[in-house]
Amino acid sequence: MRARPTSGSPLQVILERARRVPDLDHFPGVDEINARLADLAGRHPDLVTARRIGTSRLGEPITMYSIGSGPDEALVYAGVHPNEPIGFWTAIQLAEDLCADDILRAGCRWNIIGCIDPDGTRLNEGWFDGPWDRVHYLANFYRPAPAEQVEWSFPFQYKQAYFDNVMPEAFALMRVIDELKPKVAVSLHNTELGGVYYYVTRDLDGFVEELHEIAAAFDLPLDLGEPETPVARPLGPAVYEMISAKATYDYSESLGMTPYSSSGGSSAEYAERYGTVSLVAELPYWTHPAADDRTPSDVAYRDVLIEAADGLEQDITALVEIFEAARAHLSDDSQFVRATAAFLPYLGKRPDRDRRRAEQEDPARLATVSEAFGLRDIHRSFRLRYGGMLVRAIDGEIARGSAAAELHPLAKRLRALYRVWQDEALTLEPELHRVPINHLVGVQYAATFALLNAVRREGV
């Protein structure tokens, strides 16, 4: 069916489509994602080609749906971090609209992977239907160990770092990138709380301003606080050059620290060999008034860094003590155990890194309100994320009915500590605004089409 032409600039046309995303009351799990996309392919056999591209480690098929005929190739993939499900709806909405609108798919074949990590996604499905508060979300949260994240498990060799333990899901995505050599690629991520921010591999003319306009169209603030990594190089407010494993390595080295290199490169780094321009649009489930508040706070930036480092160190030390006491009694085949074993040492290095950063900061520079909030909230989020995963690891062992006696007092101690952290998080809940899911999907949807337009404008 041909859509009725719409007046206005290309971006306004995109935004008009993005605003049509219907109200959504949950995030789809693996079975729903597969069912929706398979049904679409069944209803449009002349438009959609479904192809199995791989198999997860636990035996789930991974399917790619191709819509359109090119000559341009676009690659869109969701679930690279399985705790980030906004992209599941974005992938589904893109596929549905491309089937309904031949103008939308003109000149480009869209290749959509609805869920690249089904195993990890199933471990997050406990919070996909709500209730919509951070305590419930983080108690049911799962993030794979860095080397088991599809996004960060591509081959990587740089200085003293070497990684080639590519897991099947990432290998499937690698083969697709090698085959398609896409003009654009969109890795569908999201953040947790704050505002909108983006990563792009190339500074395209006018694109930063378009990304700002997209967020504003859905009344979402930009995240103008602390970037998620000091490696991120800004191209404009809340828009950064795509972070890379190389840049992260060099930054750690510049601080006199041993670079953390147990994982690999990103999908965007891998695709750059083909000239692919990649985009990540990071959207929050909740916003906070501090997200885009650039007024000075009453505390020095370096002091907030040190405060957050000290607090995180104290909490991670407590988790490490419990985990080390429990480790001999936990199953090696548990994804929660593997993730905890990887993340706690990684997080244990962060306080030292941030103290070294603080030494380089001007003691007179005041943190902005957004920076101060962001640094403190990272601490809150990390302990709830990884404490919650340890709770699930130990409780899972106990639930099997064969737990060693030593695990029971450790579980009791951990649950008591975790409840203290949850109670503190609940005090922040009244300040949070939950963003409608269709607005989050709308931003990713619009940014995806805007990227292709921006790349075509430059003739890349």
Convert the pLDDT of each residue in 293-344 to its tens digit.
999 999 999 999 999 999 999 999 999 999 999 999 999 889 999 999 999 9
Band the pLDDT of 8: cuts 50, 70, 90.
confident
- Which of these, 16, 36, 18, 15, lies nearest to 27 by C-alpha position? 36
Strands 193-194 and 286-287: parallel
C-alpha to C-alpha distance for 125 and 194, rounded to whole angstroms: 23
Q: Give the rounded percent of residues in the chain with a pLDDT score beyond 90.
A: 87
Q: Give the rounded percent of residues in the chain with a pLDDT score beyond 70.
A: 97
Whether the pLDDT of residue 6 is over 50: the answer is no
Angle between helical axes of 30-43 and 86-100 (0-180°, round to 10): 10
Convert the pLDDT of each residue in 75-113 to its tens digit.
999 999 999 999 999 999 999 999 999 999 999 999 999
Whether the pLDDT of residue 226 is over 90: the answer is no
Q: What is the mean pLDDT of residues 142-150?
A: 94
Q: Is the pTM higher than 0.85?
A: yes
Whether the pLDDT of residue 4 is over 60: the answer is no
Residue 451's CB is within 10 A of a number of other CB atoms, namely 26
Q: What is the mean pLDDT of residues 36-46?
A: 98
Q: What is the pLDDT of residue 260?
A: 65
Cα dihedral 271, 277, 282, 283 sign: negative
Q: What is the pLDDT of residue 261?
A: 65
Band the pLDDT of 2: cuts 50, 70, 90.
very low
HEC-encoded secondary structure of the chain: CCCCCCCCCHHHHHHHHHCCCCCCCCCCCHHHHHHHHHHHHHHCCCCEEEEEEEECCCCCEEEEEEECCCCEEEEEEECCCCCCCHHHHHHHHHHHHHHHCCCCCCCEEEEEECCCCHHHHHCCHHHCCCCCCHHHHHHCCCCCCHHHCHHHCECEEECCEEECCCCHHHHHHHHHHHHHCCCEEEEECCCCEECEEEEECCCCCCHHHHHHHHHHHCCCCECCCCCCCCCCCEEECCEEECCCHHHHHHHHHHCCCCCCCCCCECHHHHHHHHCCEEEEEECCCEECCCCCCCCEEEEEHHHHHHHHHHHHHHHHHHHHHHHHHHHHHCCCCCHHHHHHHHHHHHHHHHHHHHHHHHHCCCCCCEEEHHHHHHHHHHHHHHHHHHHHHHHHHHHHHHHCCCCCCCHHHHHHHHHHHHHHHHHHHHHHHHHCEECCHHHHHHHHHHHHHHHHHHHHHHCC
Q: Using alpha carbons, list the distances in angstroms from residue 53 to 65, 114, 276, 395.
A: 10, 12, 20, 35
Band the pLDDT of 3: cuts 50, 70, 90.
very low
